[in-house]
Amino acid sequence: MSAPTIKEMTELCHAIAKSKGFWDKPRNTGEALMLVVTELAEAMEAHRKQDDANFKEELADTFIRLFDLCGGMGIDIEAEILKKCDKNKLRPYKHGKIC
Ligand SMILES: [Mg+2]
């Protein structure tokens, strides 16, 4: 059995959120994005406390919320990531900034 693709992870995260009632009404995109930010803030707090297990869990929460949002909005984030990586490969060293 191979590892799930990002597309499959997106479908899984969105299916779970839907089954728990989080998509019974249309989602507010700004609110959903800020919930992703709260997960990153929780990861920062775990990092500050040197709680490695919780740090990893909060990073997972971050991806879960992002994948759910992408699933709900019909965004193929796997394709978008690959497209952006191709774009990033063409950018200059340190994106041309001298620092
Ligand atoms: Mg969390």
Q: State residue 27's pLDDT score.
A: 95
Q: How far is the CA of 70 from the centre of ligand 1 (A)?
A: 18
Number of structural domains found in the chain? 1
Whether the pTM exceeds 0.85: the reply is yes
Mean pLDDT of 3-30: 97
Q: What is the pLDDT of residue 19?
A: 98
For residue 1, tell me if it sits in a domain.
no
Q: Given this model, what pLDDT does residue 97 score?
A: 87
**In angstroms, what is the span from residue 59 Cα to ligand 1's centroid?**
8
Instruction: pLDDT band for 21, please (50, 70, 90 cuts).
Output: very high
Q: What is the CATH number of the domain that holds 60?
A: 1.10.287.1080
Give the distance (Å) from ligand 1 centre to CA of residue 67. Answer: 14
21 belongs to a structural domain = yes
What one-letter code names the amino acid at 9? Answer: M
Calculate how far, in angstroms, residue 39's C-alpha sits from the geometric centre of ligand 1: 5
What's the CA-to-centroid distance between 17 and ligand 1, angstroms? Answer: 14
In a domain, 72, yes or no: yes
Decide if 42 is inside a domain. Answer: yes
Residue 90 contacts residue 53 (beta carbons within 8 Å): no
For residue 14, being part of any structural domain is answered with yes
Write out pLDDT tens, residues 69-86. Answer: 999 999 999 999 999 999
In a domain, 40, yes or no: yes
**Residues in Cβ contact with 73 at an 8 Å cutoff, skipping those fewer than 6 apart:** 29
Q: Kindly report the average pLDDT of the chain as a whole number.
A: 96
